[in-house]
Amino acid sequence: MWESVALTLAGTAGNNIGKVLQKKGTLILPPLSLKLKVVKAYASNQLWISGFLMDMCGAALMLTALSQAPVSVVQPIAGCGLAILCVFSHFYLKEVMNGLDWVAITLAGLGTIGVGAGGEEQKVDQIPLLNIPWLVLSVVILFVLLNTWLHMYKKQRREQELTGPEVIEEIIYGLESGILFGISSVISKMGFVMSEMGFPKIVVPAAISCSVCCSAIGFVYQTRGLKHGRAIVVSTCTSVASIVSGVVAGMIALDEHLPKAPTARFFLLLGWFFITTGVILLVSSTRLIARLPRPVQKFLKSNLERTHSIRRPGSARGKDPIPTTTIHTSSLHLLTSPTKEKA
């Protein structure tokens, strides 16, 4: 189990850090296209190539982890990618972090230890095929309800000419993208399980292809949310929905279950709670600090951050050396949405 935990951490670190390096590399590159000149420019950019290779290696490690451990273990730990990204951006990109950020990272780390200690290898003798149609139907109905709610909300906003943050739209797009990311992991795991059960080997690439399609659709929904709303809300909903949907779908479609031993079950549930709390706290730390009493704010802010705040009044977080680069992102998927990024 600890090997799978290590693979997941390495995979999600490669995904997140790779995406950051790709984004920084694109700052001096033209928009990605199939033109030979553009392709050569990307291929000759060492920073972008390094990020791309790290991203691909991270994806391979995540698939390896899914082939060895339950989704209920892999998916929550993958949510720690944000914490790893923050540590990387702090030490490598010199981004400023406040006290709550470090508390959140600590919670995510403790949660990872809890999941590793409480998780157990599960041998799947058979896939409950009758549960899969019900799972698909439930997801479809949920998406229909969410999109109906979104349509009614947009219509109301147009009629009343409302302005300001579109909170409902942010939440719905975040939930939809997170659900798709969670289901994507379950589909990949199903391919490995079916292969072990004696199904034709073609089920593995077929499942991975379906998983990639789900992730791509999730990118589309996330991009819509980021375009019309605030990243902090969209990313929080995406991260939490990804963890919850992955765990629930794994239990329904793959017959995964909680550990039978009370102690192991306690550590697993506590790990899930710590990771989810850490992710939520990490993406909302700046806003939370702004609502706290001033003495508490001074205590939580680092000396380096206070220096930045003096230079830029109202700033709660420092900037990285390149102002146009968004580094403090909110999820595994935030930096590579298809319509918002160059690569």
Q: For every one of its 343 residues, what pLDDT tens digit does the chain have, with 9 covering 90 and above?
A: 678 888 888 888 887 788 778 777 777 877 767 788 888 888 888 888 888 888 888 888 888 888 787 887 887 888 777 777 777 777 776 777 777 778 888 888 888 888 877 777 667 667 777 888 888 899 999 999 988 988 888 788 777 766 555 677 878 888 888 899 889 888 888 888 888 888 888 888 898 899 889 888 887 787 777 666 666 667 677 777 888 888 888 888 887 777 788 888 888 888 888 888 887 887 777 777 777 777 776 776 654 454 444 444 444 444 443 333 333 333 334 444 444 444 4
Cα–Cα distance, 76 to 245 (Å, whole number): 10
Q: Residue 187 contacts by C-beta under 8 Å, 6 or more apart in sequence?
A: 207, 210, 211, 214
Written as six digits, the tokens of 329 are 């992102």
Complete DSSP assignment for 177-242: HHHHHHHHHHHHHHHHHHHHTT--TTHHHHHHHHHHHHHHHHHHHHHHHHHHS-HHHHHHHHHHHH
Whole-prediction pTM value? 0.66
